[in-house]
Every structure is written in C-alpha cells, then in structure tokens.
C-alpha cells in the first residue's frame, strides 16, 4: 500500500494531517523561519539552511527572503536562480525550477487542490475508511530562463516553457509555451518573444552597454 507521500506524487487524495507528512512540513516551516531571520550577508548560514530545506539546489542561487516552503524537500531548483522578497512555495506536489530563472517579489507557487464541494472539503473517508480532511496536489514545472514578475501566482498542474516571461500580478492556471510573454488573470499568452524584443532595438535604454549572444558582444 502506498504511503501518504507516495499518494501525493501519484496525484490522488491524501491526508495532510498524516504524522510523517506533518514532520516533513514542521522541519520545512522551521527552516524557512530560520532562513527568513538571517541577514543577507550571512551567506554560509543561508547556504546551509537551503541545503537542508530543499530537495536539490544548483550553483549560484540567491533567495532574498523572507521565504516559506511547505515541504521544501519536494522542490528542486536549478543553477543561477534568483528570487526576490516573499517567495512562497506550497510544494505538496513536486516543484521543478530550471536554470537561470528569476522571480520578482511576492511570487507564490501553489500545488495543493481542495474539493469544491464544501462537505467533501470538510471530510471524506480515506483508504482505511477513516473520516479525514483530504486533498490532492498537482506538480509545477518552470523551465529554463523564465522570468516571473512581481505578485505572480502559479497554480498546480502548470508547466511554464523555457524563456517565457509572466507579467506582474498574473495567475497562471494553464501551461505557457516556450518563448511567450503571458499576463493576466487568468494568465494568457499575449505574444511570442522574438529577436525584435532585443535591447539592440532600444538604443536610448541600452546607452553605452552592449548585448551579448553566445558569449560574444554584438
């Protein structure tokens, strides 16, 4: 028989009050709290906490804090990740974040889903016939080189494709294809990001800076 954590990953109903799940969450909540109380220049302490908190983490990651991870160990982060203030990751199901991903302030990722019918939300019978509060969860995958602007919420079951940008205040409820600029509530694709969006075509803003491609100056 599957344990409750396996049920989460299977995408079927599970009991969030299960003692083993509560122990995982307690550790994640405590480590999140510890991280949130560190100073920005306490880099070794922060690195140590993240290594205990997360399922995996790549190189050159910076999370501003404060942070909140629900399970922590269910989140995997790639290389060169940046998250601004107030990152919340409700990672009941897996949350996979690619390389060179940037989050603005107040980004929230939520994977759990509760029944819509009120009586079912209060209690249902679990696999053992016991009355329990039950929910289920859907994973989130965020590709490489994605930018989530301020106050973006990503809901369970969503995949955001590589190199996409999500506009401020969006609620992402459906998959976003690669190379897309998407925004809104619910979030929808506005258009494809193309070479025309390059800073090359904004000389007044580019000023005396230069664009690089493949490690070479344009």
* DSSP code string of 152-167: -EEETT-EE-TT-EE-
Q: How far is 10 from 108, CA to CA, in rounded Å?
A: 23
CATH number of 74's domain = 2.160.10.10
Domain count, the chain: 1
Tokens representing 212? 């690089």
Give the contacts of 132 (CB within 8 A, at least 6 positions apart): 15, 17, 123, 124, 125, 126
Read off the pLDDT of residues 1-34 as tens digits, 9 standing for 90 and up: 899 999 999 999 999 999 999 999 999 999 999 9
74 is catalytic: no
The boundaries of the domain holding residue 136 are 4-217
Alpha-carbon span 114 to 73, nearest angstrom: 22
The Cα 11–Cα 94 span in angstroms is: 10
Out of 29, 114, 174, 216, the active site residue is 114
Q: What span, in angstroms and rounded, lies between the C-alpha atoms of 135 and 148? A: 27
Which percentage of the chain shows pLDDT scores above 70? 98
pLDDT, tens digit, 9 for 90 and up, residues 124-145: 999 999 999 999 999 999 999 9
């Amino acid at each position: 028989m599957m344990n409750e954590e396996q049920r989460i990953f299977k995408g079927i109903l599970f009991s969030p009050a299960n003692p083993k799940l509560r122990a995982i969450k307690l550790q994640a909540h405590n480590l999140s709290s510890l991280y949130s109380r560190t100073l920005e220049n306490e880099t070794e302490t922060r690195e140590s906490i993240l290594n205990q908190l997360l399922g995996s983490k790549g190189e050159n990651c910076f999370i501003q804090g404060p942070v909140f991870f629900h399970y922590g160990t269910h989140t995997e982060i790639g290389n060169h990740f940046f998250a601004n203030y107030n990152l919340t990751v409700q990672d009941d199901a897996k949350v996979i974040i690619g390389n060179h991903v940037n989050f603005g302030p107040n980004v929230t990722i939520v994977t759990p889903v509760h029944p819509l019918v009120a009586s079912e939300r209060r209690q249902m019978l679990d696999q053992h016939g016991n009355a329990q509060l039950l929910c289920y969860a859907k994973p989130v995958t965020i590709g490489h080189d994605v930018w989530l602007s301020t106050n973006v919420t990503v809901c369970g079951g969503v995949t955001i494709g590589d190199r996409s940008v999500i506009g401020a205040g969006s609620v992402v409820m459906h998959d976003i294809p690669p190379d897309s600029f998407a925004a809104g509530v619910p979030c929808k694709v506005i258009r494809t990001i193309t070479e025309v969006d390059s800073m090359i075509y904004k000389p007044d803003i580019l000023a005396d800076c230069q664009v690089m491609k493949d490690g070479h100056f344009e």
